[in-house]
Amino acid sequence: MSQMYSASVRTQSDNMARSITDVHAFRIFMDEPEVLGGKNGAPSPLDFILAAHAGCLNYMTFFIAKEMGIPIAATDIEVAGSLDPAKFAGTNRAVRAGYQALNVSIRVKTSASDADVQRLLSEVEARCPVSDNLAQPTPVNITMKAF
């Protein structure tokens, strides 16, 4: 059995739109577009979901390609999604709050055959942790208290 990987972040803010998250030795800034009360000074939390997915797919593509003996010189990954803001705005509780779907395009610079690229894609899809978290129900336990 492999050792479990555990992670945590801490986010603090004194306003609705902007926040600062500490993770390991790094600091991540998030903001919202002006239309949502922010100053558009940093990516939004929803942008970070797309970025995290693309980053994980990139890692897994190189990692698994090496494992399979498939040469990869570069990747070009696009992740796009759309959502209906009505739920988080409180105007329509019947719609989903998050992205309706994510569309991913992975282009790889390789001399490998199309069949090898498809085998690689199959493994990347099956093994990417961020894809798994987005595609499968993950229990989320939230508590709140005053401080």
Domain tally, the chain:
2
Residue 1 has pLDDT above 80, yes or no: no
d(C-alpha 141, C-alpha 145), whole Å: 14
Same domain? For 74 and 36 the reply is no
Would you place residue 77 in the very low, low, confident or very high pLDDT band (cuts 50, 70, 90)? very high
Provide the pLDDT for residue 141.
Answer: 97
Same domain? For 120 and 51 the reply is yes
Provide the pLDDT for residue 30.
Answer: 98
Supply the angle between the helices 114-127 and 45-68 in degrees, to the nearest 10: 130
Provide the pLDDT for residue 4.
Answer: 94
d(C-alpha 44, C-alpha 16), whole Å: 12
Same domain? For 62 and 25 the reply is no
Domain of 87 in residue numbering reads as 44-135
Tokens coding 8: 């945590």
Residue 59 has pLDDT above 90, yes or no: yes
Is residue 143 assigned to a domain?
Answer: no
Determine the residue type at 66: K
Same domain? For 62 and 27 the reply is no
- pTM, to two decimals: 0.93
Q: What percent of the chain has pLDDT over 70?
A: 100
